[in-house]
Amino acid sequence: MGFWTRVRLPSTPFERVLESVMFSAFFFCYTQGRQNLQVCSRQEYGWRSFVIIHGCKLIRRTVYIKILFQMVTAIIDKKAACVMLEKDYNRNIETNQNIGNAVDIGLYHQWEVINSMKYDYLIVGAGLYGAVFAYEANRKGKKCLVVEKRDHIGGNIYCEEIHGIQVHKYGAHIFHTSEKNIWDYVNQFAEFNNYINSPVARYQDELYNLPFNMNTFSKMWGITTPQEAKDIIAGQIADLNIREPKNLEEQALSLVGRDVYEKLIKGYTEKQWGRDCRELPAFIIKRLPLRFVYDNNYFNDRYQGIPVGGYTKIVEKMLNGIEIRLNVDYLAHRQELEGVADKIIYTGMIDQFYDYKLGVLEYRSVRFETEELAMENYQGNAVVNYTDSKIPYTRIIEHKHFEFGQQPTTVISREYSREWKKGDEPYYPVNNDRNNGLYEQYRELAAQEKKVMFGGRLGGYQYYDMDKVIMAALEMCRKELGNCNM
Ligand code: UDP
């Protein structure tokens, strides 16, 4: 069974009659098992059974009749149970009409199937949050349908294999948690390796270890002891008198002093967030450990690693046995999909769900420039941050090092951060006061929903790590499904 792309419901009586005739013909043929035949085919869909016509509104009646005629002839000739008319169908029939949006009658068939099977949960988004919820609900015997607008599952933890290397297609993901139960939970779905994230920061031609620790300070100031480092930092911030840091700049300065801030934080942060450090919340930098020991582990968490064979497998395992429809944009098919389940778990953007009616929440988007290089080892580390504001990208990821890869070639991704605009992939919510306030208003709307629940990084407008996503999803499961055995 294939998937549909776009749909517009028949609006005029004429369209309704026509489409019900076409659908009946289609359905008849389907029941006759002749669904493989097509008049025109569009290979990229790889569909088997569908009828598609385009731009009903814009098509003249004569064209409708030609479509119908073509379909009926094909059926009578036993040539086709499916008539697919290309987007440029007008050219095929030698008219110059501009044909508009697609009406995919295949959907009627899908619809039929969907409607006859009422689901307990419709889960919008096949990312980590949706997958955890679907997995738990399925275990409790709930019937779930997962719809995903991309052509793959996994959300932003999706990995694509390139010559044996798991490429983190939507940015590097390193699993880390302090919660033993979350670590055990995720280990049901994959074996994790012993990767420890130890990024290197490059400022001009100087290389420093991250997070900020004695290796960083020793390189920065040529010192050896923790006390020397503490004294230098104290000296650099003495005249600033920061009691309670009000923003990221004050937070960073008070933690590590001016040199580290200027060389390793300011440029990187302003590139990543596209905002002055004084306009950013302090909590962003609190994510990073600060240590006065020689320890380059980027995280303080007890458990850490990368799933052997990539993250996609985790989500695949979670969704095993659950019905998934890819390439389905819930918001574009709201009318048809709203009724298929008793409840909806929505993991997309909360402001988009409400058609931005209270205002647009800000996100940062990321563009990845990924290339495969004919060399074994490009940068000697999985993550190198470019903290100099003159370099346009924030970091380069060399994916093979997450799994200690020995392949003869390597794949790198340069990461460019930019402001999100409608149509881009949203990555990071910008949790400043304006956006948090707006989100609160959306949350109030969401709280009034009777059958829709919001979750995940986009549904909850949170800068979440993966363990927090799983925790939040399990919390939702507990509320919805009762105790979940973890
Ligand atoms: N950060 C920085 N310099 C670095 C790395 C991180 O100043 O070399 C700051 C920056 O403000 C960033 C924050 O720390 O937004 C969190 O970084 P993290 O690596 O956790 O971001 P993520 O991996 O989630 O993109």
How high is the mean pLDDT in each 10-residue block of the chain (486 residues)? 31 58 57 37 30 37 59 52 37 30 33 55 98 97 95 97 97 97 98 98 97 98 98 92 90 95 97 93 88 97 97 98 92 85 96 96 96 98 98 98 98 97 91 93 96 95 95 96 74
Mutate-to-test residue for ligand 1 from 265, 276, 463, highest number of ligand atoms within 8 A of CB: 265
What is the CB neighbour count within 10 angstroms for residue 426? 23
The pLDDT of residue 66: 60
What is the CB neighbour count within 10 angstroms for residue 460? 20
Ligand 1 atom closest to Cα of 387? Answer: 8
Quote the ligand 1 centre to 280 CA distance (angstroms): 12
Mutate-to-test residue for ligand 1 from 208, 269, 283, 296, highest number of ligand atoms within 8 A of CB: 269
The pLDDT of residue 315: 98
| Ligand 1 lined by 156 (C-beta under 6 Å) | no
| Ligand 1 lined by 385 (C-beta under 6 Å) | yes
3-state secondary structure of 228: helix
Ligand 1 atom closest to Cα of 277? Answer: 11
Q: Whose CA is closest to atom 10 on ligand 1?
A: 269
Is residue 415 part of the annotated active site? The answer reads yes
Mutate-to-test residue for ligand 1 from 283, 285, 290, 301, highest number of ligand atoms within 8 A of CB: 285
Query: Domains plus CATH for the chain?
Result: 13-114 (no CATH), 117-197+299-486 (3.40.50.720), 200-286 (no CATH)
How far, in Å, are 62, 66, 291, 359, 463 from residue 434 at the CA level? 54, 55, 33, 11, 16
Is residue 202 part of the annotated active site? The answer reads no
Q: pLDDT tens digit string along 4-17? A: 222 333 445 665 56
Residue 213 tokens read as 């620790």
- Report which of 273, 288, 280 is spatially closest to residue 436, judged by C-alpha positions: 280
The pLDDT of residue 28: 58
| Ligand 1 lined by 216 (C-beta under 6 Å) | no
Ligand 1 atom closest to Cα of 266? Answer: 7
The pLDDT of residue 201: 98
The pLDDT of residue 336: 77
Q: pLDDT tens digit string along 62-75? A: 555 665 665 566 55
Q: Whose CA is closest to atom 3 on ligand 1?
A: 265
The pLDDT of residue 108: 32
| Ligand 1 lined by 265 (C-beta under 6 Å) | yes
The pLDDT of residue 42: 30
Is residue 287 part of the annotated active site? The answer reads yes
Quote the ligand 1 centre to 222 CA distance (angstroms): 24
Residue 337 tokens read as 């999909």
Ligand 1 atom closest to Cα of 465? Answer: 24
Measured torsion, CA atoms of residues 350, 354, 357, 360, in degrees rounded to the nearest 10: 30
What's the predicted TM-score (pTM) here?
0.78
The pLDDT of residue 113: 37
